[in-house]
Amino acid sequence: MNNEERLEKLDTILDELSEMCVGKILLVEGPKDRMAMSLLGINAEILNVQSEGGTLKVSEKLFELRKEAVIMTDWDNAGDEIANDLERSLSSLCVRYDKSIRSKIRRICGNEIYDIESLPSFYCRLVTESVRRNEGKNN
């Protein structure tokens, strides 16, 4: 898949994430991830797992609020572990969650980036390369 195709797919996935978050809570690891989501235009209710006291506390909060979750942790080892812990604790409390977007973004990024906070710069790079490529076609 070339970078223009990656950009197109990433745009679609980010739109899907925005729609999915309506009425749900987006779970990220920390404040830089929250900022990254904002920079990408994701206007959602966001909880930082770390500042909220960890996966169990966040899961209990969602249970009390009767809200569903969208898991959007990094796709490095620590992020995978947090995502798995969230899945277990949310499931044990019968809180519905989705982590499909996380998997889709992970596939698009490949081995280039491993964290949410790098996603805006990755996106900008894809846009810049696409613009340059299209300018080259017009000359």
pLDDT per residue as tens digits for the range 58-69:
999 999 999 999
Residues in contact with 91: Cβ distance below 8 Å, sequence separation at least 6, in sequence order: 97
Q: Is there a contact between 58 and 86 (Cβ–Cβ < 8 Å)?
A: yes
Q: What is the model's pLDDT at position 110? A: 86
Q: φ, ψ for residue 5 (rounded to 5)?
A: -65, -40
Q: What is the model's pLDDT at position 130? A: 86
Tell how far CA 9 is from the center of its chain.
14
CA distances from 98 to 72, 103, 123 (A): 9, 10, 23
CATH number for the domain running over 3-134: 3.40.1360.10
Q: 136 pLDDT exceeds 80?
A: no
pTM more than 0.85: yes
d(CA 4, CA 137): 14
